[in-house]
């Protein structure tokens, strides 16, 4: 079903959207065993990221809030999603992610944990760094614009094409070994690492989208 999703991203999404890819996507690895982390604007985010992927072994995480809907349960079966318990560290799901990443799968993740209602970056949660570090894989930052749910619905209602940008340098961020430290030191390392990752996402976005990270000194260094 990953191939089907990529087909939709490559063939169906362009029917309703003008898609601009910024950056050298040729740097994206052809083989798996890595993670792509993006900002979280709307329901089309993952499909937009799939647009630049050439891999078929994809991990599909989905929060368990969608289990209460019949279409959510159906999608879960069809696309073989890994259900995530919302609001807590779901160690069972994390173990599955780590195992599959080690075997060469690709994971698309939005570390903010929830869609931004303003479109600007929220404070990211460090789970993505923990997973990537445990699996010993790198993370590629990806920045999206134009996939906001409100913007998508407004344009579709007016029969206007969406304007989506997908930005990435293709460069891999290698997270530190978080398991080498414990307690507060680990928490600090996780926080610093996810902030570093999101500073790299922030510089790929217009300033109005940078939100929580707009005044980070690291963003100014990278700009």
Query: pLDDT tens digit string along 147-178?
Result: 999 999 999 999 999 999 999 999 999 999 99
Question: What is the pTM (predicted TM-score) of this model?
Answer: 0.92
Q: What is the mean pLDDT of the chain?
A: 92
Q: What digits encode the pLDDT tens for the residues 102-134?
A: 999 999 999 998 899 999 999 999 999 999 999
CA distances from 5 to 1, 105, 158 (A): 6, 15, 26
Beta bridge partners of 144: 166
- pLDDT, tens digit, 9 for 90 and up, residues 140-154: 999 999 999 999 999
The number of domains in the chain is 1
Joined tokens for residue 183: 């307690």
The domain containing residue 10 runs over which residues? 2-222
DSSP state of 124: P
Q: In this structure, are strands 162-167 and 138-145 parallel, antiparallel, or unpaired?
A: antiparallel
3-class DSSP state for residue 155? helix
């Amino acid at each position: 079903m990953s191939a089907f999703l990529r087909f939709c991203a490559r063939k169906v999404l362009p029917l309703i959207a003008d898609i601009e890819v910024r950056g050298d996507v040729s740097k994206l690895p052809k083989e798996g065993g890595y993670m792509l982390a993006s900002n979280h604007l709307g329901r089309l985010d993952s499909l937009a990221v799939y647009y630049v992927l050439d891999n078929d072994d994809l991990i599909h995480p989905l929060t368990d809030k969608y289990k209460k809907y019949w279409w959510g349960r159906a999608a879960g079966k069809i696309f073989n999603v890994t259900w995530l318990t919302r609001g807590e560290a779901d160690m069972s799901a994390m173990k599955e992610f780590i195992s599959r990443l080690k075997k060469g799968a690709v994971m698309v993740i939005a570390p903010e944990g929830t869609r931004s209602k303003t479109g600007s970056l929220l404070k990211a949660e460090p789970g993505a760094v923990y997973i990537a570090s445990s699996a010993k894989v790198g993370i590629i930052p990806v920045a999206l614009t134009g996939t906001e749910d409100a913007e998508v619905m407004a344009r579709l209602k007016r029969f206007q094409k969406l304007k989506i940008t997908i930005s990435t340098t293709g460069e891999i961020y290698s997270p530190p070994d978080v398991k080498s430290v414990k307690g507060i030191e680990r928490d600090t390392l996780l926080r610093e690492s996810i902030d570093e990752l999101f500073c790299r996402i922030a510089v790929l976005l217009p300033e109005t989208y940078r939100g929580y990270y707009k005044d980070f000194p690291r963003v100014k260094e990278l700009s």
